[in-house]
A and B are shown apart, each in its own frame.
Chain A
Amino acid sequence: MEKSDLKAQMLSYAQARAPQTPIHLQALHLLEELEIPTTKHEEWKYLNLKNLLSRTYTFANGNQQESQFPQSIPNICDNNSANVLTFVNGVYRPELSCLVSPPSELTVCSLLEAKSNYPNLVDLYFGKYANADQHIFAAFNTALEAQGAFVYVPNNKVVETPVVIRCIACPKESHLLIQVRHLIVVGRSAQLTLVEHYSSASTPYHSFTNLVAEVIVLENAHLQHYKIQDESATASHIGLTQVWQLQDSYYANTTISLDGELTRNNLHIALDGQNCQAYMNGLYVLDNKTVTDNHTVVDHRKPNSSSNELYKGILKGKTQAIFNGKIFVRPNAQKTNAFQSNKNILLSPNAQVDTKPQLEIWADDVKCSHGCTVGALDEEPLFYLRTRGIDEENARALLIFAFAQDVLERIELPSVRQYVEKSIAERLKMNL
């Protein structure tokens, strides 16, 4: 199947559904205009979509029949210790979900329900911050009214129990293109911990998840946001997370990629108020032939805010990691503090890293720093550990864990941290 075929398929699918609202109509126009990116596009230079496009997908777009029950559903938090929303092939599954926080403190439901139950709230925020023009996949997601989670924390509410959005890809009879759309709003002085967990059932068919998440962090709000990708080697994921922060807000995004065939994360944060803090933490631990591409953008629009980005990668096998970190500092965003770092360890000669910082600074009174490294494990510490009796494999694993430590330490939710550490230990075959 040619690339253009997927576009044609998307177009005819979207046109047939005759979008109604201006947002959806505009997205349809974008879908007509935009092309599926190739490595000739600057933003997609290192990411080859050839395998992804070589397959014919059935579109799972809120179609109930597509959402068979997966055999085993991975869990990060226990039910009852979290508000869990489960989506299978993009369809909300209330019977696999569990909400524990009182409605006065937290509104969670599927976006579909939200549109009928809270139309004013949805209208206020939906489609305002996620730019459907980012790429054709975002346009398609918007044009098709993709479904997902709606999470709303009213002003001044502190939600103690985290919200976990579980998205499980489970293609049973054909390759499946799954669309997911989340809208997250954290009200003024409100506080929330949110976990997005992407996993997949192992089936002979491939899945392709096309995600758009809009995240709005209002004045003085506080959001810890985790995105854990732990899909199988037959699962691909293209996701756009668009965050909009207002004055005095705090937002920490931690993106952990543990598996999958191909993953492209676009994380865009607009700091649209003074005294905002944004953290972007990333860790990718890749094996076999996994390809992970993290494109982050932090847009400092107002003075006195800070952003801090730390992405680390550990690559085995024939894997590829791409990191592209953009920092924009607009002319009036004086006293901006922006820090960026991307560090990678290559554990195999066949692994590859393409890392690129991109700074565009229009204000003059700013502090910006960035750095990236790609290298092998240091020999000195390895020898030191081995002289203490620790065999080479375990010594390597210890050092790799140590390398990831500063990202792991930023995971404040214990269950997520345990889950990630355990997954990495398994991946590294640690035996300590």
Chain B
Amino acid sequence: MLSIKNLQVAIGDKQILHGVDLEVQAGEVHAIMGPNGSGKSTLAAVLAGREDYEIISGEVIFNGKNLLELAPEERAGEGLFLAFQYPVEIPGVSNTNFLKAAVNAIRKYRGQEPLDAVQFLKLIKEKMKLVNMDQSLLSRSLNEGFSGGEKKRNEIFQMAVLEPKLAILDETDSGLDIDALRIVANGVNALRNKDNAILLITHYQRLLEYIVPDYVHVLYKGRIIRSGDKNLALELEEKGYDWIKAQVEAQQPSL
């Protein structure tokens, strides 16, 4: 589904990703962990199509398409979704109007008829239940004045409504209390199926108890320096990153 090869990315004259390789198949959950500043959000943003970055080299194929050539909205149309680490507040745009615009834009991209008001309402009612979304949040401006947890829940709610093929969740678990975490995790799990895939960026093993990953990768200084199964996350939880850093730096002093 997603194939990243030797992706090198810079912002300004600072190189952030130094050659990332990653293969994700349909039905899989991949977790990406790594210390602060290692480039996790950068990778997510480049995949979603943020334009501030310079792609130095590498390629990304998503369902047979060259992802890096597509505009952000086309990537969404192709089925990519990014739950932002820091969702943007947009005063003056109501959550509902925004969602309707998004749903119908994606439907249009896929050559489907737009949903009418009744169909749309039915869809969001159903998805609201999935993430225990409060009705009042829908009529408010998009993320404006939402608490941290409400913003994250809203991201998952959008994911539920848009039903992406590949969802990238950038620290959706950070800052959530255990109840909110369960709700978010249950929502994500309910959306999992054999045709879609999830890329979870997280610092915490706790999330991975609820959404069990098939693979765990460690991103460090812009490279994936280790991959393993869910036990790698447990090991990291216990020992931190220093031991891997030490191992890697012993092998590649240039890092």
- Measured in the bound complex, the distance between the Cα atoms of B94 and A401 in whole Å is 11
- CB of B210 closer than 8 Å to a CB of A: no
Complex contact B88–A403 (CB within 8 A): no
- CB of A384 closer than 8 Å to a CB of B: yes
Stretch from A69-77, A236-244, A364-372, A385-393 forming part of the interface with B: A385-393
Q: Which one of B76, B84, B101, B158 lies within 8 Å of A394 (CB-CB)?
A: B101
Please judge, given known A-B contacts A386-B73, A392-B73, whether A401 and B87 are in contact too, CB under 8 Å: no
- Measured in the bound complex, the distance between the Cα atoms of B141 and A401 in whole Å is 12
Please judge, given known A-B contacts A394-B101, A398-B98, A432-B101, whether A388 and B93 are in contact too, CB under 8 Å: no
* Per-residue A-contact encoding for B38-49, CB less than 8 Å = 1, 0 else: 000000000011
Stretch from B27-35, B61-69, B102-110, B130-138 forming part of the interface with A: B102-110
Chosen A-B contacts, 26 in total, with CB atoms closer than 8 Å, are: A381-B88, A381-B90, A383-B48, A384-B87, A385-B93, A387-B49, A387-B73, A387-B81, A387-B82, A388-B98, A388-B102, A388-B105, A389-B76, A389-B105, A389-B106, A389-B162, A390-B102, A390-B105, A392-B71, A398-B97, A398-B98, A401-B92, A402-B92, A402-B141, A432-B101, A432-B104
Contacts of A389 in B (CB 8 A): 73, 76-77, 102-103, 105-106, 109, 162
Q: Which one of A380, A383, A401, A404 lies within 8 Å of B72 (CB-CB)?
A: A383
Q: Which one of A383, A385, A404 lies within 8 Å of B98 (CB-CB)?
A: A385
Known pairs A388-B73, A391-B71, A398-B101. 5 more at Cβ < 8 A?
A: A387-B72, A388-B76, A389-B73, A389-B103, A406-B92
Complex contact A384–B90 (CB within 8 A): yes
- CB of A413 closer than 8 Å to a CB of B: no
- CB of B226 closer than 8 Å to a CB of A: no
Nearest Cβ on chain A to B60's Cβ, whole angstroms: 15
- CB of B206 closer than 8 Å to a CB of A: no
- CB of B91 closer than 8 Å to a CB of A: yes
Complex contact B101–A399 (CB within 8 A): no
Please judge, given known A-B contacts A381-B90, A398-B98, A403-B92, whether A386 and B82 are in contact too, CB under 8 Å: no
* Per-residue A-contact encoding for B85-129, CB less than 8 Å = 1, 0 else: 001101111000110111111100100000000000000000000
Please judge, given known A-B contacts A389-B102, A391-B105, whether A399 and B72 are in contact too, CB under 8 Å: no
Complex contact A386–B93 (CB within 8 A): no
- CB of B75 closer than 8 Å to a CB of A: yes
Contacts of A395 in B (CB 8 A): 73
Complex contact A388–B87 (CB within 8 A): no
Instruction: Give me the 8 closest cross-chain CB pairs, A-B, nearest first.
Output: A402-B92, A405-B92, A389-B76, A386-B72, A388-B102, A389-B106, A389-B105, A384-B88
How many residues of B are counted as interface, with CB atoms below 8 angstroms from the partner's CB atoms?
33
Complex contact A402–B91 (CB within 8 A): yes
Nearest Cβ on chain A to B73's Cβ, whole angstroms: 5
* Per-residue B-contact encoding for A357-384, CB less than 8 Å = 1, 0 else: 0000000000000000000000111011
Complex contact A387–B162 (CB within 8 A): no
Give the interface centre of A384, A398, A405 by most chain B CB atoms within 10 Å: A384
- Measured in the bound complex, the distance between the Cα atoms of B92 and A392 in whole Å is 18
Complex contact A388–B158 (CB within 8 A): yes
Nearest Cβ on chain A to B238's Cβ, whole angstroms: 35
Complex contact A399–B162 (CB within 8 A): no
Contacts of B101 in A (CB 8 A): 390, 394, 398, 432
- Measured in the bound complex, the distance between the Cα atoms of B170 and A16 in whole Å is 78
Nearest Cβ on chain A to B164's Cβ, whole angstroms: 10
Interface residues of A in 145-162 (CB under 8 A from B): none
- Measured in the bound complex, the distance between the Cα atoms of B106 and A404 in whole Å is 26
Contacts of A386 in B (CB 8 A): 49, 71-73, 76
User: Who on chain A is nearest to B72 by CB?
Assistant: A386
Nearest Cβ on chain B to A432's Cβ, whole angstroms: 5
Contacts of B88 in A (CB 8 A): 380-381, 383-384
